[in-house]
Amino acid sequence: MTIAAAPSIVVVVFPGTWSERDFADLAGALGWEARLVWHTEAELGEADAVVLPGGFAHGDHLRTGALARFSPIMAAVGEFAAAGGPVLGSCNGFQVLTEAGLLPGALLRNDHLEFRCDWQWLRCERGYGPWLGGLEAGDRIRLPISHGEGRYFADEATLDELERSGRVVLRYSDAAGTVTEAANPNGSLRGIAGIVNQRGNVLGLMPHPERAADLELGGDDGLRLFRSLERWLQELPAAAERRL
């Protein structure tokens, strides 16, 4: 029997990022290593997974994520993702991933024009990949949302392809897990809250798993993504492959 080393995650920090400490605290509470890496760095260093946190990278000027995609660290994030490394983009991180072309579509201004900060039920459509492997289709999780530009948009052909290939992994739902227009907090097409790339290793979602990591703060469903990742890392056949 071998004891696996604690997972180590890199949390990318752009000027204007605001959720990096929550991710680092969450990792610390799990006994993991977390390293914050400034956006001007060219290398991620050794990492089991990379997180692009929420916030307002580069002030969200021009468009959310539009300037962040040109930050030097994004080339390394792209390489890590291309090698199959687990990448999570939450909120602004999701917006950056779409601008960088690592995920399809775009996040537009909420249909009601309000910034929405609330708890939100989500239905897992497919327990798939490093981040959601510990969930099953139909599972409900409750996570905070906090965004003004979360309306998922892609053209019809792209949406159909995402559905067909099982890459729509999270949808906004009510407490019963039913996807309804009323439960959709921002006008996202087809109620989409989270998608993965073709390989399943890159997850983008508007909600904040890192803000649902402590029952005393309202809920800990966000931990399920990190328990999934832990299991996924342990199941990788060799330590050499773990360190991607």
Residue 115 binds other proteins (CB under 8 A): no
Burial 191-202 (b: 16+ CB within 10 A, else e): bbbbbbbeebbb
Q: DSSP E strands: which ranges in 60-162?
A: 87-90, 106-108, 116-124, 140-147, 151-153
Residue with smaller CB distance to other proteins, 105 or 129: 105
Q: Per-residue x/- mask for other proteins, residues 177 to 216, rule CB under 8 A?
A: ----------x-----------------------------
Restricting to residues 135-154, name those near other proteins by CB under 8 A.
Answer: 151, 153-154
Residue 34 binds other proteins (CB under 8 A): no
Give residue 63's Cα distance to chain centre: 19
Question: Which of 99, 210, 221, 230 is the binder for other proteins (CB under 8 A)?
Answer: 99
Report, in Å, the least distance between residue 243 CB and other proteins: 34
By the 10 Å C-beta count (0-12 exposed, 13-18 middle, 19+ buried), 216 is classed as exposed
CA distance 240 to 11: 22
221 phi and psi angles, rounded to 5 deg: -65, -25
Residue 112 binds other proteins (CB under 8 A): yes
Coil/strand/helix, residue 83: coil
Residue with smaller CB distance to other proteins, 38 or 70: 70
Residues involved in catalysis = 91, 208, 210
Contact residues toward other proteins (CB under 8 A) are 62-63, 66-67, 70, 98-99, 104-106, 108-113, 151, 153-155, 187
